[in-house]
Structure 1
Amino acid sequence: MQNVAENIRSYYEKLHPGEKKIADYVLSHQDSIVDATIQTLSEKIGISTASISRFTRHLGYPNFRDFLIALSASKKTERSDFFTEIEEDDESDQVVKKLFSAGVSALTATAANLKVKDLNKVVDWLVDSAKIGFFGIGGSSIVAFNAYHKFLRTNLNIVSHPDYDIQIMQAAHLTSDDLGIVISHSGRNQDTLLVENKLRENGSKIVAITAFPESPIAKNADIVLNSYSEEVNFREESMSSLVAQITIIDTLFTLVGHRLKQETDQVITSMRKVIEQTRVKK
């Protein structure tokens, strides 16, 4: 079941100003509005009932009643302050607890919202594509290179590079027989979008991994795998999002390994022998 607060925050950047006003009020008064009527909520926020109805439909709920039911259910199953504030007077153990809680929340929310049919389709593309490119800038380049490192243990033909100029050249070489997996926390990185546009020009299949399903990079992809994250102050980009994205990559790798068990086992065995030669003997 999708947490309503997580859903609101994932769509927040694409909401209209009036919808953001509704979102801000809902996020700040989750406990008190579960029993509210659309009329009372309209009066409290100063927004028309029609605007509230459009807001709930934008988030994927057929009507205000279904929105409240979902909100009530999510409040019962998870008490989440999805934006964790680290206060000046927090002790070290409190900081550690908040950070690990953010990571656990991100993984739980991401797992709950991943669609198996989308994962299976991406695995189909990974297995059937002539070449696969992993692309990401800044913090997302860590996820892309992690994916490259993981998928070297398969027999798939993969490319990746941390340098942006090389990424754009690699994207230019991919064709309609190939797959590009584009990673961006915000989904709004201009350089990453240029890479994605190049993939689109070439007819390559595109998978986006992002925390914002309404972002330009998400809208330009064929399939979007959402990484939900609990934002923590002192960090411009959520590290919990990074953890969720790496786990999505781990999931895809494991599904591919399961699909191509014999071939993957052969590659892993061969790599283990090579890696063992680099280690100091006891």
Structure 2
Amino acid sequence: MENILYKIKSNYEILDPAEKRVADYLIQNMASIPYLPIGVLAEKVHTSKTTIDRFCKKLDFRGYKDIKIEILRYISSDSSGFLSGVDLPQDFENMSLSDLLNFVLGVNVETLLEIKNITTLESIERAINIITKSKCIILVGVGSSAPVVLDLEQRLTRLGLNCCASTDPHFQITRSLSLSNNDSIIAVSYSGCTKDIYDCLKIAKKRGAKIVSITSFPNSPIAGISDCCLCSPTRKVPLPSESFASRISQLAIFDVICAGIYMNKKEKLKDFIKDIEVSMSSKRI
């Protein structure tokens, strides 16, 4: 089940400006929201009660009362205060290296812990089944998602699967055209809105291939076209990176999937893995 913090963040891009002000205030002041009347909240974010109700309905709540109950439940489940929902300390720019270390590691740890709340076992199991049954698997990602698909290519190959990773948009189109209904394509996109990735997924869909995607935005176009979408948590921080925490969570989710594939095929893989170990031993000094 999605927690309220992730639900707000994952739907953020579909909100209008006034609704985004409501979302920002809720994220930054979560502890006080259960005790804040709707009229007071409307004044604080310079909007109307109607806008707040519309915001709640976009998040699939009946109204402000329901969202307050969900926030209270979320806060109560976090007795340590670790999942505070505050992405950025106010004094971020003046942080010492020691504080920066604690902050970055804290964000990564929080992101990993949040995987269990937003990534369902059903979606992981479906991804494992699609990948295991595929005759050929294409992995696509561009930009900061490229290292993730390259890492996954190596791990799936070591599990005896026929796969190929592509980080070039032109080659991705060519490879998508070669797919059939016995194949699958795995797409990695933080935003879920990368046009190059979406274009090759449309081709793969027409060819009958199954689509597995991983994104931090479950309402994105790439999530919508997928047969199986895996949701990865994310935390926005003002560093020169789209979201380093999202890549950590993507790699962790693929770790689970690869472990699941191995458990399903471990008897068949014994000799293959042994051959890999013997062959690779000559590469070490």
TM-score, normalization by structure 1? 0.92
| 1:43 shift after superposition | 4.4
- Find out whether 1:171 has 2:180 as its counterpart: no
Aligned position for 2:223: 218
Query: What per-residue deviation string (whole Å, max 9, x for no partner) do you get for residues 229-265 of structure 1?
Result: 1222123411111110011111110011111111233
| Pair 1:217–1:91, CA change in 2 (3 A) | same
Match of 1:243 among 241, 248, 258: 248
Q: 1:250 & 1:60 partners in 2: Cα distance?
A: 31
Query: What per-residue deviation string (whole Å, max 9, x for no partner) do you get for residues 151-189 of structure 1?
Result: 011122212133332222111111122111100111121
SS in 2 for 1:88: helix
Is 154-163 or 140-149 further displaced after alignment? 154-163
SS in 1 for 2:93: coil
The equivalences for 1:1-282 within 5 A come to: 2-76=2-76, 77=78, 78=81, 79-85=83-89, 87-280=92-285
Q: Which amino acid in structure 1 is aligned with residue 267 of structure 2?
A: Q
> Which structure exhibits the higher relative contact order, with contacts defined as CA atoms closer than 8 Å and separated by 6 or more residues?
1
| 1:82 shift after superposition | 4.2
Q: Which amino acid in structure 2 is aligned with residue 197 of structure 1?
A: K
Q: 1:195 & 1:82 partners in 2: Cα distance?
A: 36
Aligned partners of 2:28 and 2:86 also within 8 Å: no
Query: What per-residue deviation string (whole Å, max 9, x for no partner) do you get for residues 94-115 of structure 1?
Result: 1111110111111111222111
Q: Which amino acid in structure 1 is aligned with residue 94 of structure 2?
A: D
Q: 1:9 & 1:134 partners in 2: Cα distance?
A: 26
Q: 1:192 & 1:212 partners in 2: Cα distance?
A: 15
Aligned residue-pair number = 280
| 1:208 shift after superposition | 1.3
Aligned partners of 1:102 and 1:231 also within 8 Å: no
Is 54-63 or 246-255 further displaced after alignment? 54-63
Query: What per-residue deviation string (whole Å, max 9, x for no partner) do you get for residues 196-250 of structure 1?
Result: 1221221211111011112221122122111111222123411111110011111
Query: What per-residue deviation string (whole Å, max 9, x for no partner) do you get for residues 101-140 of structure 1?
Result: 1111111112221111111111111111221111100110
Is 204-213 or 22-31 further displaced after alignment? 22-31
Aligned partners of 1:105 and 1:229 also within 8 Å: no
Q: Which amino acid in structure 2 is aligned with residue 51 of structure 1?
A: T
| 1:24 shift after superposition | 2.0
Q: Which amino acid in structure 1 is aligned with residue 270 of structure 2?
A: D
Identical positions, percent: 26
Aligned partners of 1:180 and 1:199 also within 8 Å: yes
| 1:46 shift after superposition | 4.2
SS in 2 for 1:177: coil
Structure 2 unaligned runs (5+)?
A: none
Structure 1 unaligned runs (5+)?
A: none
